Structure formats: C-alpha cells, structure tokens
Amino acid sequence: MPIFDTHTHYDDEQFNEDRDGLIRSLPEHGIGTIMNVCASVRSLDRIVPMTRQYEHVYGAAGVHPDYADEITQEVLDKLRSILAEPKILAVGEIGLDYYWHKEEESHLLQQKTFRQQLDIAREMKMPFVIHSRDAAEDTLRIVKEYMKGGMYGGVMHCYSYSKELAKEYLDMGLYLGIGGVVTFNNGRKLKEVVQMAPLSQLVLETDCPYLAPVPFRGKRNSSLNLPYVVRAIAELKGITTEEIVAVTEENARRLLLK
C-alpha cells in the first residue's frame, strides 16, 4: 500500500537540481500520491503545470500568512480560477504565523486574509490546509467560527499545539498533519497528541524541503523520508507500520479526493 504525502513544496528552489527525477522516482519508493502545497503568491503560477506534468501529483492553492501583505483582489481572483482546476484539491496553506510577525498590525492583516481564503474554501466547497504558529487562540477562534457555519473539512498542518487544543480540532472532525517533528527528541508534546488522536484523523506529511525526520534532521527533506515518520507513529500507537500507511492513505483520500 503506497504512502500519501499530503504536504510537500517541491516547487521550492532547494529542488532545482533534481526535482524532475526525484518526483518521478517517488512511486517506485512507495510514495503513491503527493499534494504539493502553495505557500507564496509566486508559487500559485507553478502549481497547475506541476499537476499536469505528473500523474501522482495533486495540488493545494492558497497564500501563506507570511505573504499576507501581497494578497490583492487580483490574487484572490487568480486563486479562485486555480482552485477550479481538476487536480487542485484544497485551499492552502493558509492561516496565522505570529512567530515571524510580532506586530499587531500584521496579525490583523493575517486574520483578514485568512478569512478571505476560508470564504473561498466554503464558496468552492473545498477542504483547507492550515498553518498556525504561535497563534493558537486566534486560529481556534476563527476555525471554530467557520466550522459552525459549515465547511468541507481540513487539515491542521504540522500540528504543534497541546493535546487539549488537538481535541478541539478533532472534535470538529478535522485532521492533524503529522511529519518529521514526531521523530524529534524534543517532540514530546506532539508524541502525546499522536498517542491520543484516533488514527482515522491523522494524515502523513513531509513539509519538504523542511522538517526532515531524525536521522536527517536539519538536512533537505523529501517524501522518501516518510517511512521514519511512519515508524515513529507506529511505535507510539503500538500498531504496525502497514496499518499506519493504509489508514492515513485512506484518510487523505476521504478528505481530499472524494
């Protein structure tokens, strides 16, 4: 059973040297499907050609909170037209990042552009992929508000908050994206979350080129390292790696490819 990597950034310049060969080689290494996720406004132009070039590559389109100040009406219109493409499965990654941006003014702008993109997800009946760092309270408040109004599911990408907060998202029927951090020695908080969360609400992700698992921590990451993440989850949950791969694959399909 092949792995579904729900969060990659293969358009990143760190893959300029070997992108094509690497992406083509994934299926023979057990990575059956990947969803490449837009971050910057510029990456919006790269996603559709990528999904057309490779059968096993799907996409998510959205603008990361780091680029909130680049979001214009024109960008939102472009986003809508990209989301209408057949292999674009979700709106993302969108959200709030107060780690890199400490100013109140930036927080308000990020909340505005987060909402604009959640509105688009609702309008287009698509799931969302959320990035949230050092913004636990505001993220929960906004996501709760939208879920009440009816949404089409979503993933808390690179989930990094507490077990208690994870329960809130799980109770709303959302999925948690689990990647390399679960293998880190200082990843205790996430390990507790993974033990507690039902396997039926976890999906695998690399966030490559970032967040390589141990023993490659700090190096360029790729989907080829996902077996290390699978092994860590299997140990925490006391079930086989085969079951982790099969169930997370099915979860990703149910959420994204339905």
Contact window for Zn ion (CB under 5 A) among 84-92, 174-182, 183-191, 199-207: 199-207
Contact window for Zn ion (CB under 5 A) among 47-55, 171-179, 204-212, 235-243: 204-212
Q: Is 167 left (phi over 0), alpha (psi -120 to 50) or beta?
A: alpha
Q: Which helix (H) or strand (E) holds 118?
A: helix 104-123
5 near Zn ion, rule: CB under 5 A: no
Q: Is 125 left (phi over 0), alpha (psi -120 to 50) or beta?
A: left
**Cβ 201 to Zn ion shortest distance, Å:** 19
**Cβ 53 to Zn ion shortest distance, Å:** 20
What 3-state class would DSSP assign to 182? Answer: helix
Nearer to Zn ion, 99 or 195 (CB): 99
Compute and round to an integer the Cα radius of gyration of the chain.
Answer: 17
Residue selected from 5, 138, 207, 249 as contacting Zn ion according to rule CB under 5 A? 207
Using CB under 5 A, count the residues that bind Zn ion. Answer: 1
**Cβ 1 to Zn ion shortest distance, Å:** 25
- The set of residues, in sequence order, having a beta carbon less than 8 Å from that of 248 and lying 6+ positions away, is 3, 4, 199, 202, 203, 204
Q: Is 66 left (phi over 0), alpha (psi -120 to 50) or beta?
A: alpha
Q: Which of 208, 181, 205, 199 is nearest to 251 (CA)?
A: 199
**Cβ 143 to Zn ion shortest distance, Å:** 17
Nearer to Zn ion, 73 or 79 (CB): 79
Nearer to Zn ion, 133 or 231 (CB): 133
Nearer to Zn ion, 11 or 207 (CB): 207
Chain residues in the site for Zn ion (CB under 5 A): 207
